Amino acid sequence: MSAVAVRSMFQSHPEQPSHADALSRCIDACFNCVETTSACADACLAEKHVARLITCIRLNNDCAAVCAATGSILTRANKVGHRQLLEAQLTTCIAFARTCAAECQRHAEMHKHCEVCAKACQHCVDACTEMLSSMRMPA
């Protein structure tokens, strides 16, 4: 639902951002990742063998922090002026989400919440990558 809401907002934005589809999907994938990594960190904390999940918890929290920043910055991504900053943020976000996806995947068989979280992280990686590609194409 939210990607649709954000998408429809950009249509009435006075400076209609180019690539509004990729942008809307990316914002939504980032905040979806905030939700799942935060929830996964908490589910891990409740597991009996929490000591084995410390790295997963930390990466989940780091990923939530970066994705929240990325999502917020993307809602202001309507201008051509700071393209390099946006590329830096997306690239950093991809690095965190990819690492978090890999760590969660290691626990996916054991913990369903890690499997769901790994998918959301990978979805965020894909959406950020698509956004980067869109930015490099003519509007």
Amino acid found at 49: H
Residue 79 phi, psi dihedral angles, 5° rounding: -125, 155
Cα separations in angstroms, 67 against 47, 72, 108: 25, 8, 21
* Contact call for residue 1 and its own copies (CB under 8 A): yes
62 sits near its own copies (criterion: CB under 8 A): yes
Question: 103 to 122, contacts with its own copies by CB under 8 A?
Answer: 111-113, 116-117, 119-120
Which one of 22, 96, 104, 135 is in contact with its own copies (CB under 8 A)? 96
Q: CA gyration radius for the chain?
A: 16
Are 97 and 67 spatial neighbours (Cβ–Cβ below 8 Å)?
yes
Binder to its own copies among 19, 22, 26, 32 (CB under 8 A)? 32
Name the region of 16 (left: φ>0; alpha: ψ -120 to 50; beta: rest).
Answer: beta
Task: Count residues near its own copies (CB under 8 A).
Answer: 69
Residues whose CB falls within 8 Å of the CB of residue 87, separated by 6 or more in sequence, listed in order: 132, 135
| Binding residues for its own copies (CB under 8 A) | 1-3, 5-6, 8-15, 27-28, 31-32, 34-36, 38-43, 45-48, 50-51, 54-55, 57-59, 61-62, 64-66, 68-69, 71-73, 75-76, 78-79, 81-82, 84-85, 88-89, 91-92, 95-96, 99, 111-113, 116-117, 119-120
